[in-house]
Each structure stands twice: as structure tokens, then as C-alpha cells.
Structure 1
Amino acid sequence: MRISQAGVDDVADLARLSWLDTLDEEPAQPSVAAFAAELAAWWAAHQHSHLAFVARLRRPEIVGVAWVALVPRVPRPGATGRLSADIQSVFVLPEQRGQGIGSALVQAAAEHATRLGALRVTVQSGRRAVPVYERLGFASSRQLLQRLPG
């Protein structure tokens, strides 16, 4: 398995994985090709704040992805380059799960964000994945709160 940062040439595969990940959730999805065009346009506008890491078992097939969103924080005296990061949209093909691919992707994305200076890396997880994130060093925090719409 090889983990690397995705590039523009990977958009079609990234779109395919996202499309597969949401197949059951979004009944009126566009085709994979239509979504690939939408993703390419979105990523062009967000390429400095959103990075994708991909797993390949055999080149060039991508079998998993994890995105990291980099969020600049308000500067403070002595700390003008503050940054936070959020792991998003982790997906591994169902037939490749249970081999550590998702963990390797999350680890690569989180380590990259930390190297860039992120003070914290967060993730919003489904219940089944919580133990995986805990094994990777993520922990619940009483200080990190969220406000839901409504």
C-alpha cells in the first residue's frame, strides 16, 4: 500500500470514491462523471485549504481517501500563523476495509497538518469509527463544542 497526497489528475478517482460513499444517502445523485466535474471545480477553488490523501494498492487504482481541511485561526501576539485542521470524508472501498488503510490515511493527513503547524486536528466520526480514531490518538474534549442548526 502506498499513501500519497492526491493531485489534480486524481479527481476522477476521488469523485468515484465519494460517489460510492454516498450512494445510499443521496438518491438523486448526478453521474460520477458529472460529480467529477463539480469536484474538480470545487477543489480548484479550495486547493489551498483542502488536501486529499489517497491509498493505492496497485498503481494507479485508488482504494481509499482522507481529506484534511486546513483552517487559519485568528492571530495572537507571538502566534500569527495559527492553524487548525479537520479530517473529513474518509472512505475506503468496502472490499479493502480491515487492512489498516483508513488508519494509514488518517495518520498521513493528521501528520501533514501537524507539520504545517496545526495546533489541533479534529474529526467528526460515526459511532463505529470512534475506536479507530481513539487508537490514532484522537480523544474527546469537553472544550470542543458544537452548535447544531435549529
Structure 2
Amino acid sequence: MELRLAHEKDIDQLIKMRWDFTLEDYPEMGEGTEYSTFEKECGDFLEEAIGSGEWFIWIAENDSRIVSHIYIELLKKVPRPGRITNPFAYMTNVYTVPEYRGQRVGSKLLFKVNEWAAEMKYEFIIVWPSESSIEFYGRNGYTHCKEPMEKHFR
């Protein structure tokens, strides 16, 4: 199993995984949606993200197949006098294909991401876990923080 950052050659697999991940949890989202339309939008996003230096897509690959991924977006903070201002990381789109779950693939990938974030001196990683993933993050050293506030526009 290889743990690494995604490259452009991985985009087709990442698109399909995003599609599968979404429909696994929200099957209704696929109704009336053409895969080709999603494929174009997601492909454009991934192409830009991979080369941006602001998004980092970590993957676990087994025999040329991506079996797990974690997306990280860096968020820069406004500098403060008297301290070095490091960005923090927003983690999203954490997914392991069903047949690899329960084999610690996701935990190994998350450990690699945590190691990388510490080496890069990011201030912290934030994630909004689903109810079903709270235990996974807890096992991997994540703790609850106060809920952020939000304003919806739709």
C-alpha cells in the first residue's frame, strides 16, 4: 500500500470515488444528474486543486487503485504582531472504498496526513465529521471543539 499525494493521472479515479462516496450517503443526489456533467465539473476542480499549492489530496493506493483519500485545503490566517502566523488545514472528503474498511487503511492515511501537517507546521486541522465518523477521528487523536457559527444564504 502506497500513501502519497495525488497527481493529475489520478483524477479519473478521484472523480469516480467522489461520485460513489456521495451516492453511498445521499443516493437522491444522483437522480437526474448526468455523470458526464459531474465528471467535467469535478475534473476541472481537481485539475486546478492539484496544481494550486492550496489543496493537497492524499491517497492510499493498492496495485494502482486508489482505495482511500483525504482532501486538505490550507487556509491562511491574518498575521498578528509578535507571532509567526501559520495556516491551518481544513480536512474534507475523507473516504475509503467499502471493501477496504476495517483494515486500518483510513487510519494509516490519516496518520500520514497528521505527520505531514506537523512537519509543515500547520497550526491545526479542522474537520466536520459525520455522526458515523466521530469514532474514527476520536481513535486518531481528534477532539471536539466548540461548534462554529454559520449563516446560510439558500
Query: Above 0.5 in TM-score?
Result: yes
Q: 1: distance between equivalents of 2:5 and 2:13?
A: 13
Indicate the SS of the match to 2:117. helix
Q: Is the 8 A contact 2:55 2:73 kept in 1?
A: yes
Out of 106-115 and 19-28, give the one that drifted further. Answer: 106-115
Q: Which residue of 1 aligns with 2:143?
A: 139
Given candidates 91, 95, 106, the residue that maps to 1:91 is 95
Q: 2: distance between equivalents of 1:122 and 1:147?
A: 15
Q: Is the 8 A contact 2:11 2:47 kept in 1?
A: no
Percent of aligned positions with the same letter in both sequences?
24
Q: 2: distance between equivalents of 1:74 and 1:123?
A: 20
Q: Kindly report which structure 2 residues correspond to 1:1-150, keeping only aligned pairs within 5 A, or say none.
A: 1-23=1-23, 24-26=27-29, 27-31=31-35, 33-46=36-49, 47-58=52-63, 60-142=64-146, 145-149=148-152
Post-superposition offset of 1:45: 3.3
Q: Is the 8 A contact 1:90 1:106 kept in 2?
A: no
TM-score, scaled relative to structure 2: 0.84
Structure (1 or 2) with the greater strand fraction: 1
Post-superposition offset of 1:43: 2.8
Unpaired runs of at least 5, structure 2: none
Backbone CA RMSD of aligned residues:
1.9
Indicate the SS of the match to 1:119. coil
Post-superposition offset of 1:57: 1.9
Indicate the SS of the match to 1:106. helix
Unpaired runs of at least 5, structure 1: none
TM-score, scaled relative to structure 1: 0.86
Post-superposition offset of 1:145: 2.2
Post-superposition offset of 1:146: 2.9
Structure (1 or 2) with the greater helix fraction: 2
Q: 2: distance between equivalents of 1:28 and 1:106?
A: 34
Out of 91-100 and 72-81, give the one that drifted further. Answer: 72-81
